[in-house]
Structure 1
Amino acid sequence: MEDHLGSALPRSLPADEHVDPAAVLATVEAIDADPAVELHSLMVLRHGRVVAEGWWAPHTPERTRLVYSLSKSFTSTALAFALEEGLVDLDDTVVSHFPELDGDITDPGSRSITVRHVASMASGHDREMIDEALALDPHEPVRGFLMVPPDAPPGTLFAYSQPCTYALASIIQRAAGMPLSAYLRPRLLDPLGIGEVGWATWPPGREQGFSGLFARTEDIAKLGLLYLRRGRWGQTQLIPEAYVEEATSRQVDNPDMENPDWRQGYGFQFWMARHGYRGDGAFGQFCIVLPEHDVVVATTGGTEAMQAVLDHLWTHLLPGLREDRPEDGAQPELERRLRGLSLAPHAARRQPGGQEGWTSPFAVAPGTGLTSVGVERAGDGLEVTLVEPDNALTFPVGTDGWLASSPLDAHGDVVPVAASGGWDDDRTLRVEVAFLETPHRLRLTCSLPARTAEAAWHTTPLDGGRLATLHCPRLRAPLPRG
């Protein structure tokens, strides 16, 4: 396998890398035919080359997007550098990196939680701790986390818990004296040719670590390729091979998880799977590494049926990973399908049939954070305004398909969206709004004569959905040491 150091990964035809294009086509068709699954991008690599890639319009390859808990695998990579540089040790206790908390954390179990334990989701707590940690100390969640004694000896019990990764990320940022993204920039992002990213923060202004990273599909694929190559990129061993082995091996058992690909064990912020291992984030953000096949699969999506996505890959793609060169007769159809991928826009009339006014605000019932929806005619087109108590966003709506735009919200932040819609009848306007830097889509239904609006998420953002968090955050200034 050749080494490639350019900013873009090399491309190749599937058959040239011994991947059956008919298998890739079957995978795409199965995903598209499954009503429970909504993918936004798919990228398949073999032997270090991209052999298939596609984006479901209005999503496009150049945009960063929220990858939710796939952020954890980037945090794990930051840990690899911090260990190599002697900033932390796996056997350090968490409290040792927060000396100001020493007098507050008195439980022996809490005091014995180590970097190794939080890296492997084995703090000894038997549940997700995010709400308890924030309730006990919203300003220093690490303190809130450590204030709750573990339910079992640390290292013996798996529980998927955001404060574990937040504590890990906080330790690295304290030791490095800078945010995770700044720490990773010269060590990981620049060497891999990854451009600008964003990372949402949590109190007290630290990048979250457990979530909040905005990156591109190809960035996800590059991370997977780095791990597939056991930490080597080009001629440089970026992260130690021994760390890759440890991080992507079972550190703790998790047999009680519901789905089969989530109960194969957990490493350092990586899931073991029935095939290979992976990083993943809510709603279908996947970085899948299959060392036995020399394959990486990267996806983004907006689906809650994440096991179904993996099932489609195992059923349709795996059989097409060949040792010999397959027939390539399906290649033209595969290319046609990949070029034509799209989320269905809302098909409706471009104009209402009646003469009723549509310009007054439509009141939104509680539940989404919106207070009202504004509707304005703009020439032959349509504009919609989403209003929150402290924010607002106005954007055009495509009446013949998706119309992408990059409007500013009331705070001056760019919130990329694509919208499609129109009138279902004389009294009903329906609009689909895709927030392009997230997995999320909002359906608006405005009705006359009541002048009310309903707003419903296809997949509800994990923070409930606010305009301020539905876009890539601005870069943050470095944190002071301490």
Structure 2
Amino acid sequence: MAATYVKPGELGLNPEKLTEMLTELEQTVEIHSISVRFDGKVILEGAWEPFSLEKPQMMHSLSKIGTSICLGFALDEGKIHLEDKLLDYVRDELPEEYDPALEDLTIYHLLTMQAGSKECCNNVWFSKLTRDWETNWLKQPKIREDIGKAFHYDSGCSYTLSRIVTKVMGKNCLALMQERVFDKMGFGEINWLTSPEGHNTGGWGMYLTAGKISALAQLLLQKGEWNGEQLIPAWWTEEIGKMRVVIPEDEKKALTHYAYHIKAGKEIFAAEGAFGQYLICFRDYPVAIGITAGASEYLAADICLKYIKEAVQIPCEKENLEEAQEKLEEKLVHLTLPKPEGDKKDTNEATKKLLNKRIVFTENPRQIESAVISTVGEELKLELTVAGEKKILFAGYKDWKCNDMYPNDFTKRYHAVSYAFDEDALYLSVGLLNTSYREEYCLWVNSENVVVGTWRPNVTYLPAEEDMTWKFTGTFEPSCIL
């Protein structure tokens, strides 16, 4: 998948504006990595530590681009048509009782999120089901008068399209993408989550890096052609990004409409995922962008649109070009997310109470049942029991220490940890590198010898807590109290 790197200035782009873009992105949203291509060449690529350009992150709804591409294969081969009725493909999965409005639904309605869904059945909704995802989704009531007329986002549409593609093509979406796209682009093996029955989720759960995302965006800009081979039907790449249905309350954003399982605006179209992930294609410029993130605000596409246009339209003064390029490269080398709040690597009398004793915790969002914390040189050693499994992690002082915590599980393999103390507490920052999640812990011992803990994530699907902070406590095992 190797791409040619070219300095922006050599292509007539203003590196000052690209530096400003990076600055506004990191000040406005929590971005984890970015890859920008101009005319097929990489002009900017970087990651905010502890996240990296090498370790794939789970895509949320950005994954829908894969389902859309696979539907294009089926359409191109005449194995399915947009006007086909949904029920012609899912009658075997129908529950005994279902909303008769399902009889009205077509493939086009699912593809454009105009299926009249009352509820957005996202990955959290589906993860609560232990079986029969399709049947359970088909039980959901519909707003019949909205079918084909109004936008109702629902990842159940994506799962259903994934199931239908598998039926008509004889292979699931991942197998199709791996064989027809990923292998030919040099991506290597790509992972994509499945339902309990083994079907690709369709609407979420593909694992990609920013570089691979920008390469897919470039493939769309090249009308499906890669290294002289037509990987995606050209006509389908032209249809994917056309504006189809208005997205309510998004009229002032860069992406105002829904297209074929991605979003679209006048100047860009993009696959967008929860927590600010993006695959962005520009309409008027040969620009392709991939972004991974853990952001609560969906602003990255608008920021990129603003500064890319300026980088193209506002030239850098020739006498400043070399210095501007050096500043951009310097910034890319030193990208990092915030490290722990404390300013000490050593313990004092207050924080020493936390060390070398087994702490048993009350219920907490990460299911950390117990911990033994100790120092090993300048690193902190964390011996944990997490959801019944014993794990050992190391944290660097004001530095990210990467731990291969689940070697056989691509969904949560790498955890990077950094620590610091202050006069009263231990602070830990953790990056779950295969996800959008970064979290902060604070632990201290109160006057009653109880460990008090807080957990604060960057983003979460959990019901909101005040200040996005969850509190829990811990007690020392009696035999461990000094």
TM-score by length of 2: 0.86
Match of 2:343 in 1: 348
SS at match of 2:258: coil
- Partner amino acid, structure 1, of 2:33: S
Q: More deviation in 406-415 or 102-111? A: 406-415
* 1:104-144: CA deviation from partner (whole Å, max 9, x where unpaired): 36644202312211111111224424599859975222222
Shift of 1:397: 0.5
Map 1:246-325 → 2, pairs under 5 A:
246-254=239-247, 256-258=248-250, 260-261=252-253, 264-307=256-299, 309-322=300-313
Distance 1:270 1:185 in 2: 20
1:69/1:280 contact within 8 Å kept: yes
2:410/2:434 contact within 8 Å kept: no
1:391/1:410 contact within 8 Å kept: no
Q: Pick closer, same or farther for the CA change 1:198–1:169 going to 2, 3 Å.
A: same
Shift of 1:89: 2.5
1:365/1:454 contact within 8 Å kept: no
Shift of 1:99: 3.1
Distance 2:394 2:81 in 1: 52
Shift of 1:334: 0.7
SS at match of 2:397: coil
Match of 1:407 in 2: 405
* 1:205-229: CA deviation from partner (whole Å, max 9, x where unpaired): 2121111111111110111011111
- 1:457 has 2:457 as partner: yes
Map 1:61-460 → 2, pairs under 5 A:
61-101=53-93, 104=96, 107-130=99-122, 139-151=131-143, 152-254=145-247, 256-258=248-250, 260-261=252-253, 264-307=256-299, 309-322=300-313, 327=318, 328-329=321-322, 330-346=324-340, 347-354=342-349, 355-356=352-353, 358-380=355-377, 381-408=379-406, 415-425=413-423, 427-448=424-445, 449-460=449-460
Distance 2:192 2:390 in 1: 23
Q: Pick closer, same or farther for the CA change 1:177–1:105 going to 2, 3 Å.
A: farther
Match of 1:41 in 2: 33
Q: Tell me the percent identity.
A: 23
2:380/2:395 contact within 8 Å kept: yes
Distance 2:312 2:111 in 1: 32
Distance 1:450 1:132 in 2: 34
Distance 1:82 1:364 in 2: 52
Q: More deviation in 238-247 or 432-441? A: 238-247
1:71/1:209 contact within 8 Å kept: yes
Distance 2:112 2:105 in 1: 11
Distance 2:213 2:112 in 1: 21
Match of 2:2 in 1: 8
Shift of 1:14: 0.6
Q: Pick closer, same or farther for the CA change 1:90–1:77 going to 2, 3 Å.
A: same
Distance 2:272 2:308 in 1: 19
TM-score by length of 1: 0.86
Distance 2:281 2:127 in 1: 37
C-alpha RMSD of the superposition: 2.8
SS at match of 1:181: helix
* 1:242-262: CA deviation from partner (whole Å, max 9, x where unpaired): 2122211122222x2357337
- Partner amino acid, structure 2, of 1:358: L
Shift of 1:409: 7.4
Structure 2 portions without partners, runs of 5+:
465-482
Map 1:27-38 → 2, pairs under 5 A:
27-32=21-26, 34=27, 36-38=28-30
Shift of 1:462: 6.8
2:158/2:203 contact within 8 Å kept: yes
Q: Pick closer, same or farther for the CA change 1:452–1:15 going to 2, 3 Å.
A: same
Match of 2:475 in 1: none
2:217/2:288 contact within 8 Å kept: yes
